[in-house]
Amino acid sequence: MTQTAIYPGSFDPITNGHVDIVQRTLQVFDQVVIAVAFNANKDSAWFTPDERTEMIRETFAGVAGIEADAFSGLLVEYAMRRGATAIVRGLRAVADFEYEFQMTMMNRHLEPRVETIFMMAGESHFYTSSRLVKEVVSLGGDIAGQVPDCVVSRLTARAETHR
């Protein structure tokens, strides 16, 4: 039986920290659905859900077992619809813990049949985040190595409109 994991997030944009988590997840699951969460009414993202999904597809072009999708509404309902065995989240340092703990407990309350599991990011990605990458690029800093190559030029171009 195919074991599918949902890897949800804002992915605004995908970073090399996310890529690291996906690669680790692929060692445990047959199929990883990278799911871009969006809120149609309130979304302050730099990139549209379509743009975010497209960057993920480009990043993993040719890699088997990966699907990129976008969803709105409750994550656990999406996970059930997709027949996923688990939700995967990445953990960096201690600061992530409380937020992740709350979400996991709420999701478990909403849908006890979906388990959340955590992957530790590699140490070179402990400080990488989409939020910081956007801040750095909008202040003219170098973000090479922090995001996939196909994301760099899109981020730089989008930063022009967010200065």
Instruction: Summarize as ranges the residues that interact with ligand PNS (CB under 6 A).
Output: 8-10, 37, 74-75, 103, 106-107
Whether 72 is a known active-site residue: answer no
Residue labelled with tokens 């949800």: 8
Whether 109 is a known active-site residue: answer no
Among the listed residues 18, 89, 125, 134, the single catalytic one is 18
Report CA torsion sign: 68, 99, 87, 76. Answer: negative
Strand-pairing partners, residue 7, are: 34
Report the alpha-carbon distance of residue 110 to residue 130 in Å, rounded.
28
Q: Least distance in Å: CB of 9 to ligand PNS? A: 3
Instruction: Closer to ligand PNS by CB, 1 or 14: give it.
Output: 14
Q: Least distance in Å: CB of 129 to ligand PNS? A: 9
Whether 130 is a known active-site residue: answer yes
Residue labelled with tokens 């992740």: 100
Report the alpha-carbon distance of residue 35 to residue 48 in Å, rounded.
13
Instruction: Closer to ligand PNS by CB, 148 or 160: give it.
Output: 148
Which tokens in the block code for residue 23? 């690669």
Among the listed residues 42, 109, 113, 163, the single catalytic one is 42
Catalytic annotation, residues: 18, 42, 92, 130
